[in-house]
Structure 1
């Protein structure tokens, strides 16, 4: 599972397609309040890299959710598409979009200190707190 891989997929209605050759099969769960508010639970997603292409661009609605990132969804069916870092263009793609879903492995969780008590994943993963995430990834 090391290195970059080709990822492809589409939203629920099929009007938005996604493809990248710089993705990963490693799924992460984000437990931050914004992700939970956005989707009703943790965001399960993979790093799609910076060179992601979309078809059906006219169906993509983007929302600037913070100074450093935007989120996008299909305006036809509402499928969550990605979380994108503004500084470097890195796309974090919703895992459920991907044709490669059977090959995905969940191996990390972020904002673990923000996770509510009403759910828990049973598999062992790497975990990072909010402070650790910002120390590692926040733009200076």
Structure 2
């Protein structure tokens, strides 16, 4: 488990600035059908926790993508900004939004919804692999704490 770090980022057109004060440095991949439809491939993302500032707010559009989550994007350039859990307000954000210094120890650790991953690609990295059922079971056990 990585120690939390502060990250700053921007969208493609620079209309939205992002500040995160407790991001993990683990990059994870989501292969679910929604992420692949949203971005054309797997989502490579960082768990940014709940301490996230996006400014200005009027440049951010939010879409209720499921009963439990929302997706946010820049209303000017369409950059994907976040996947946010409604109940906890936890932000999962595309790693490409951030300037990650070479000195930061970032690792690729987990792939989720591997049961939905199409056969036409694979990552060479050795990671933890979780099916959708395993992901939901893990979240349910965390919610019960």
TM superposition score normalised by structure 2? 0.91
Contact in 2 for aligned 1:95/1:101 (Cα 8 Å): no
Per-residue deviation, residues 72-110 of structure 1 (Å, max 9, x unmatched): 111111110000000000000111001126443211100
Please tell me the root mean square deviation across aligned C-alpha atoms, in Å: 1.5
For structure 2, the 5+ residue unaligned runs are: none
Whether the 8 Å contact between 2:36 and 2:42 is mirrored in structure 1 is yes
The aligned counterpart of 1:43 is: 43
Partner of 2:75: 75
Match of 1:112 among 69, 93, 114: 114
Which sits farther off after the overlay, 51-60 or 29-38?
51-60
Question: Which consecutive aligned stretches of 4+ in structure 1 deviate over 4 angstroms post-superposition?
Answer: none
* Structure 1 gap ranges (5+): none
> Structure 1 pair 101/41, CA: closer, same or farther in 2 (3 Å)?
farther
